[in-house]
Copies of this chain bind each other. A is one copy, B any other.
Amino acid sequence: MAREPGDRRERILASAAALFARKGVSATTVREIADEAGILSGSLYHHFESKEAMVDEIVTSYLEDLRTRYKRVLDGDSHPRTRLHDLIVASLEVVEAHPHATEIYQNDVNYLTQIERFGYLRTAGKEVQQTWLSVIEAGIAEGVIRDDLDPKILYRLMRDAVWLSVRWFKPTAAYPITRLAEDCTSLFLDGLAKTR
């Protein structure tokens, strides 16, 4: 299959994402990105307006995918336990589909939100929180989830545990992403105590 136009651009963006993820956005230079792409830094500006524009594209398509998948979860099975599990699965699938973007977001969100251009990250964060909260609160209302813990606290603890897996999780045949999702769900819902 022949390469479409835009393929080259996509590959530049992909290797830029890898660099941003590994070193951080601020510490990655346009010269390094160009090196990785096998061109000179000036040539990058034929494809992209700026370094910020590259980050923007990477993060935007990441958030778009995330939004789509979360919406699909809310349209699916409505049992709280299933729904929480589906949210975890969706998140881990986004991690798998956009590992570099996930890492950029997790590492550099503080830095990025200070740049006007990336103000939309705050909104996105609130949307994600709202999705989780609606699931947790429905679970409490239905009597499936404990009511003695603050839903917002629960959300943040679970969110960080799940998303930060981008830093360490490498799926294997013996321990695939589906297994990690099940273990997360079971840890959060059932806990790791053998007896109570």
Residues of A within 8 A of B (CB): 21-24, 26-27, 81, 103, 107-108, 110-111, 114, 143-147, 149-150, 153-154, 156-158, 160-161, 164-165, 167-168, 175, 180, 183-184, 186-196
- With CB as the reference atom, state the residue of chain B lying closest to A114: B23
Q: Which residues of B contact A110 (CB under 8 A)?
A: 21-24, 103, 107, 167
Q: Which of B27, B145, B157, B193 contacts A81 (CB 8 A)?
A: B193
- Residues in B whose Cβ lies below 8 Å from that of A165: 156-157, 160
Cβ-defined contact, A183 with B149, below 8 A: yes
**A interface majority secondary structure:** helix
Decide yes or no: A149 and B188 within 8 Å by CB, A156-B168, A164-B160, A194-B144 being known contacts.
no
- Tell me whether B194 and A149 are in contact (CB under 8 A): no
Given A23-B114, A26-B26, the answer on whether A187 and B157 have CB atoms closer than 8 Å is yes
B188 with A187: CB separation less than 8 A: yes
Could you write out 11 A-B pairs with CB less than 8 Å apart? A24-B111, A26-B26, A27-B111, A110-B167, A143-B194, A144-B193, A146-B192, A150-B175, A153-B180, A154-B187, A190-B196
**From A108, A110, A193, residue with most partner B Cβ within 10 Å:** A193
| Cross-chain contact B24 with A194 (CB below 8 angstroms) | no
Q: Please name all residues of chain B whose beta carbon is closer than 8 Å to the beta carbon of A111 when the two chains form the complex.
A: 23-24, 27
Closest residue to A162 on the B side, CB-wise? Answer: B157
Task: Select one of B21, B24, B114, B191 contacting A191, CB under 8 A.
Answer: B191
Q: Which residues of chain B are within 8 angstroms of A149 by Cβ–Cβ distance? A: 183, 186-187, 192
